[in-house]
Structure 1
């Protein structure tokens, strides 16, 4: 880019811990041509600390370095002090390098051939840190090869060790770049291994070896997940596994759909029910249990009418398709006519021809023909009890007409549709 007038802000030298060091500030740039074709001259900075030096675009340094003097502006003494560079054009890079003159120093420069950034850290004259993007080497320690914390021991293998030396007490080592393997342990092949088993899906296996089982001490925490993307799943079936629908709940998902849920008090199945002894037929699944209440009514088969009730209560329990009901109803007046019907049952019966469910009836103040007693039944595909009378000496039953005032208690067990 072209730099007509650039301003450069320096961080105070104390913040860089460069006390006692002599630094050189390099500005690689294509300088404006002079009469002899040489690059621009040098500009002195803070006496005793920084010197500005111009390097031409081909990496060649200009001869000589300006000597700081008392008249030089104290650039870098304060964080808001700036340097004007009005003479530079096609500005390429600005690099700070420092040579160790005391017990600590830091250096930053460009490689002469490639202009590749290199960062040096030194202590007591020894190199303790190096960053070179061309060779992908990163060292941090007392020396480049000893007591290092991070060392790219072999750039070709992209290995990174963490420990006392580049090859010992390692914590992280990329053992095989081809298989994208990362070993965790005392050596490249020791103790533990993390393997990217499927780079396309971003999956990573953790084990003592690629096919071994890992052991964990402590807590392993994962995201809550969802039925479509369970938190704990399987490499060959990513939408089957376990997830956390809400606090204190454990969900089981199969094929991306919730199939079961645990809350510590109950097991809830989304569908299908429970099958026993290896049975796989849907008809043989226990798929429902429920309890509830209903409100029984009395009406006439001919004219429904309306009644005056002083008692209406009903309860049921349903296990699978089997329903048991209990009810009680009292009327003091009614306008209906025809056969008496007890309605409001919670479930319709199964539609099986010629199958009637007999209801047990206990009645009070109900008008019944002489030498007869009241009975009730529920026909196929019905949700009411039809009242009838049966004579003690008769061979059949007849419809029992609605009564204006009576009390009925009843119970029945039937198959729901």
Structure 2
């Protein structure tokens, strides 16, 4: 066995102390002082955490206070706006009611004024009607138009000498008439100058009329019409002229006939426009005079259902049938009746392509001893000594 030397042991002890110093020099000794240090650090850490929590809580408080205030302000602002809107609506409703009330008051005042005006006009109308019932006057207002002549013959004489005068509507102002009026002139038929006083073609215009209608005239001058007794009277009663009458007839089978009278005039309204006819010519027969004395309608007054001048007093006979009124018998049309007679160019007219039911009568125009059914008719007048 070999024992180390002293020098070796000394060297080993030195190395051991160096190693021990090295190892334990890096380790801090545990002591009360060291424990205090560690505790302080932990306390500091805990205190920092608490401070952060306190700061966070304060920040939350700082945030919550303004948010609640802002919400409160918005709520107050909404309430303020709602109050303003409500007040505005109330004020608008009040002003609207006031405006409507004022408008209604104004309208009521206007209606009261118009009502008073209407009552005044009605009083004037009633006064005028009373005056008209006391005396016959011309009811046509004067129209501020320039007439073309005294009648269609006069127009043909004056204008036709310069240029060709076409047929159509013209304005005439006969002698003795207080107003001008429009007529239909035929300027090509048999030398022209004819004033048409009656025309019927298809039955579109009813001739079942009262006395006043037959006085003033009715219908359309461009279609079917009756010119009017007053107008006819003024035309044919001009002082220096005499007139002739032409009656044109058309049957349902398109055959034609006519009756012409070389003199034609009417008495005035006081005498109910008694008709006067001259010599007859034509191929339809003289239905105005008829075959018997009681058929003669010449010199007879005009008659309607409401102004009866037909001579049936108390009754007359037509085809062995007793009649009280010829106008009512012919369905309330107007004509120069003589116990009804053989002529009535204003009789009821109903015509279709398949059927003809007519009361237009000219009973001297016959075929196989039966009166021909008349589809259309016209009455024209012209100066006797036409140029």
TM-score normalised by length of structure 2: 0.19
Q: Which structure is richer in relative contact order (CA contacts within 8 A, separation 6 or more)?
A: 2
For the pair shown, which has the larger CA radius of gyration, 1 or 2?
2
